[in-house]
Amino acid sequence: MRALSITACLGLALTGAAPALAQEADVAKPPPVNWSFSGPFGTFDRAALQRGWQVYNEVCSGCHSMKYMSYRNLAGIGLTPAQIKAVAASKTVPGAPDDSGQPTTRPALPSDRFVSPFPNPEAAKAALGAVPPDQSLLELARPDGANYIHALVGLGYVDPPKGVKVPDGFYYNKYFPVKLIKMPPPLSDGSVTYADGTKATVEQEARDVVTFLTYVANPDMEQRKHLGIRVVGFLVLLTGVTYMVKKRIWSDVHGHHDDGHHGDGQTHA
């Protein structure tokens, strides 16, 4: 009985693994980007974060929600309180019911969560054919998230290979695991106009929006790295001090040796 179920499991695992492997070999690996935030000393490039917020705000937020972010969290990418107030005020959120109980709307406040483009996933699916995932934690939700999203939106929309038919409502993207995606190419050259004069190519926009998405998913990354460096520094110091103390204590013992006491401890007893 036990042996049978093990064999069955193995069989299932093997048959399951074969197509997965075949597919894996087929999917293009996202090229690694030299991110400002990678490595133990990496920090977020503030200018890239603000450009990335612009790309999210003007492009991605038309379809993707980011429901764990509040407007005041934009202080983390360097927006001033006045800028945050203005951003929030440009959005509309549901307000308190009026005197006759009718729903109202009001401009958002810095404390409000980011407004979602659709009231519910069903509405998003009806409009787009698939539900765009919330972008609050998306960078963490995909393996190799930053490089993957950069490749997906910045490099992946290419002509399909000969013989591949792209059905209506789908787009070919060589970095999407199943290649056929329901997201139309979101970026084009000049999708946004950067205030700092940076040229808005598709690849630049992708790089910037991924920097922003990585910050949103890891807002305390810089503090964590900073603490990590201090902990390592402390451990190095502690190791040095421990070594010196050890040498000091054992120097007495070695001293005995020099005096000619070559006993194994029993001599002292």
* 207 touches ligand HEC (CB under 6 A): no
Binding residues for ligand HEC restricted to 66-125, rule: CB under 6 A = none
* 154 touches ligand HEC (CB under 6 A): no
CA distance 197 to 204: 12
Closer of 59 and 110 to ligand HEC (Cβ): 59
- Beta carbon of residue 133, minimum distance to ligand HEC (angstroms, whole number): 5
Residue 255 token pair:
């001293």
Cβ 212 vs Cβ 77: under 8 Å: yes
CA dist 101 → 107, 108, 198 (Å): 19, 20, 49
Q: What is the CA 175 to chain-centroid distance, rounded?
A: 17
* 186 touches ligand HEC (CB under 6 A): yes
* 151 touches ligand HEC (CB under 6 A): no
Q: What is the CA 34 to chain-centroid distance, rounded?
A: 15
Residue 129 exposure: Cα atoms within 13 Å on the Cβ side: 10
* 192 touches ligand HEC (CB under 6 A): no
For residue 19, the tally of other CB atoms under 10 A from its CB is 9
- Beta carbon of residue 104, minimum distance to ligand HEC (angstroms, whole number): 28
- Beta carbon of residue 179, minimum distance to ligand HEC (angstroms, whole number): 10
Sites of contact with ligand HEC (CB under 6 A): 55, 59-60, 62-64, 128, 130, 132-133, 138, 142, 149, 152-153, 181-184, 186-187, 209
